């Protein structure tokens, strides 16, 4: 089988050479096609950080093994790492965090074992990068949480948990504050949970989750979260087991999968041959298992665990009284320990059953959409306007334009209601949200909304608009704080 390999920036080529050398020594039956991705590709003028030939190769082969990559700062370009995940819809980011004997942490010294799998939604949330300056003082980031996208990653998390024999899966969220977006994700979680009655499904507010993880991490098994929260929590978990140098990452999609180290490019040690290749090696082992190369993965991982138990280390961890190995020597130590079994966490030997590569030739972009269960109606609009006036002055101008269709219900500033009631102690910025609702919740048309916008624009710059929708008798919009 042939896979695409991107060596990465900084220490990427060094640790990739070490990992592929370990694979070669274990006779891993893979061929590699190297592709051009990373900062140096940005510098050549490719705004997405990869050449067209690289994109074509990855889409043909379906598997990308990549080292850490740097995104140029201050050039208005997007992260190549995020672009790759989103372009190929690798919707589930799976990261496994386990106690590694020989990597001392607070918890290993206390005898508290850690085995946590974080599944992070990988496409949506604020990582859409859809941002605007609405006024010179007010920036807006749009956060998209979709039902189909949530169902994709949550179904993957439950299916993965079922196959590994997990007894508990937890949804981390902030639905107590973001009632619609995180509320939708949590709703999808319990919808999927009904199909897996043998797994205990529960949820926890993400800040409480973080507190409990740093006090009793052994309570958790599989945790599924939205994109930004999952990013933060997964790095927190890396800190529990020794740092990002011991944190593998797999990005799973229906057609393309990416296996990568998520730590940085470490430009301060580039070229010194002292980087720790463990995270990339663990990511590579996840890739081997994904490809059905179970025996290779078990032999290499047992050798890695044995090597760590024996006190072999690179300079970033371990017993400082023992000499540190460079990247090459550490890889050779693992190779020399093929066939040895660690005292702790030994991986079972399973026969290699390589999968048959499937080439997907899609003729159009897949559309993922759920069925609309109830009738949709428009019952109003939020107009985000720029103004340095007081709330009552903004209200007076808005009230002139309500026509016979609308009523002005509330005006808020940074999400807090300031009209018709509020507090003089609420600080204001120069942007208000003015909520117009239809009289008696009568259905409105987009033409009605456009006419209102036209009238209000005579007095204000309208920065943004959002329709107030209802499905059946359920409001699909949130109230202002204090409304």
Give residues with Cβ within 8 angstroms of 190, minimum separation 6.
201, 203
Concatenated DSSP letters of 235-296 = HHHHHHHT-GGG-EEEEE-SS-EEEEE-S---GGGTTSS----HHHHHHHHHHHHHTT-HHH
Residue indicated by tokens 């797999």: 250
Q: What is the pLDDT of residue 80?
A: 85
Pairing of strands 92-98, 115-121: antiparallel
Instruction: For CATH 3.30.70.1570, list the domain ranges present in the chain.
Output: 376-475
Give the architecture-level CATH label for domain 1-90+248-368: 3-Layer(aba) Sandwich (3.40)
Kindly report the CATH number that applies to the domain delimited by 104-241: 3.40.718.10
Domain with CATH 3.40.718.10 in the chain: 1-90+248-368, 104-241
Q: What's the CA gap between 173 and 179, in Å, rounded?
A: 10
Compute the 3-state secondary structure of the chain and give helix, strand, coil in percent, each to the nearest 5.
Answer: 35, 25, 45
Architecture per CATH, 376-475: 2-Layer Sandwich (3.30)
Burial class (CB in 10 A: 0-12, 13-18, 19+), 65: buried
| Distance (Å, whole) CA 145 – CA 30 | 37
DSSP class of 8: -
DSSP 115-136: EEEEEEE-S-BGGG--EEESSS
Q: CB within 8 A of 213, min separation 6: which ones?
A: 116, 220, 233, 236, 237, 240
pLDDT along the chain (483 residues), means of 10: 94 97 97 93 86 94 94 72 90 95 90 95 91 94 95 97 93 96 97 97 98 95 97 95 91 95 91 95 96 96 96 87 92 97 90 80 87 89 97 96 92 95 96 95 94 96 96 88 74
**pLDDT score at 275:** 94
460 within 8 A of 397, measured Cβ to Cβ: yes
Can you give the pLDDT at residue 70?
87
Q: According to the model, what pLDDT value does residue 232 have?
A: 96
CA-angle at 165, arms to 164 and 166, nearest 5°: 95
Count Cβ atoms below 10 Å from residue 456 Cβ, excluding itself. Answer: 22
pTM for the full model? 0.91
Spatial separation of the C-alpha atoms in residues 239 and 216, rounded to whole Å:
14
**How far is CA 291 from its chain centroid?**
23
């Amino acid at each position: 089988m042939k896979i695409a390999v991107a060596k990465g920036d900084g220490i990427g080529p060094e640790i990739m050479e070490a990992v592929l050398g370990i694979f070669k020594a274990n006779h891993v039956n893979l061929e590699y096609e190297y592709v051009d991705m990373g900062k140096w590709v940005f510098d050549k003028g490719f705004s997405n950080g990869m050449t067209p030939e690289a994109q074509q190769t990855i889409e043909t082969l379906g598997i990308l093994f990549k080292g850490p990559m740097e995104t140029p700062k201050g050039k208005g370009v997007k992260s190549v790492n995020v672009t790759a995940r989103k372009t190929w819809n690798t919707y589930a980011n799976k990261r496994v965090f386990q106690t590694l004997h020989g990597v001392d942490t607070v918890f290993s010294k206390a005898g508290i074992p850690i085995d946590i799998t974080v599944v992070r939604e990988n496409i949506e949330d604020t990582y859409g990068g859809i941002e605007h300056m609405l006024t010179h003082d007010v920036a807006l980031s749009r956060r998209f949480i979709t039902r189909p996208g949530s169902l994709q990653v949550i179904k993957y998390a439950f299916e993965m948990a079922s196959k590994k024999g997990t007894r508990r899966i937890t949804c981390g969220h902030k639905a107590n504050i973001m009632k619609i977006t995180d509320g939708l994700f949590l709703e999808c979680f319990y919808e999927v949970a009904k199909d897996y009655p043998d797994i205990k499904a529960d949820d926890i507010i993400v800040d409480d989750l973080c507190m409990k993880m740093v006090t009793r991490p052994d309570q958790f098994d599989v945790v599924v979260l939205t994109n930004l929260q999952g990013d933060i929590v997964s790095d927190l978990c890396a800190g529990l087991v020794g740092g990002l140098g011991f944190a593998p990452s797999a990005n799973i999609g229906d057609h393309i999968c990416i296996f990568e180290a998520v730590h940085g490019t470490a430009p301060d040690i580039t070229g010194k041959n002292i980087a720790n290749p463990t995270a990339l090696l663990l990511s590579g082992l996840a890739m081997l298992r994904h490809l059905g190369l179970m025996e290779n993965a078990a032999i290499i991982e047992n050798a890695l665990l044995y090597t760590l138990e024996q006190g072999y280390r690179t300079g970033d961890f371990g017993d400082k009284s023992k000499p540190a190995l460079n990247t090459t020597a550490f890889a050779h130590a693992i190779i020399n320990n093929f066939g040895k079994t660690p005292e702790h966490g030994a991986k079972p030997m399973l026969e290699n059953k390589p999968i048959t590569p499937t080439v997907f030739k899609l003729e159009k972009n897949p559309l993922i959409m759920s069925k609309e269960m109830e009738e949709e109606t428009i019952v109003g609009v939020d107009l985000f306007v720029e103004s340095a006036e007081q709330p009552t002055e903004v209200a007076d101008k808005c009230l002139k334009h309500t026509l016979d269709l609308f009523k002005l219900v509330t005006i808020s500033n940074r999400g807090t209601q300031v009209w018709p009631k509020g507090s003089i102690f609420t600080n204001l910025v120069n942007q208000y949200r003015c909520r117009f609702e239809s009289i008696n919740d009568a259905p409105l048309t987009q033409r009605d909304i456009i006419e209102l916008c036209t009238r209000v624009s005579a007095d204000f710059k309208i920065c943004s608009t959002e329709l107030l929708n209802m499905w059946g008798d359920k409001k699909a919009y949130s109230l202002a704080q204090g409304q």
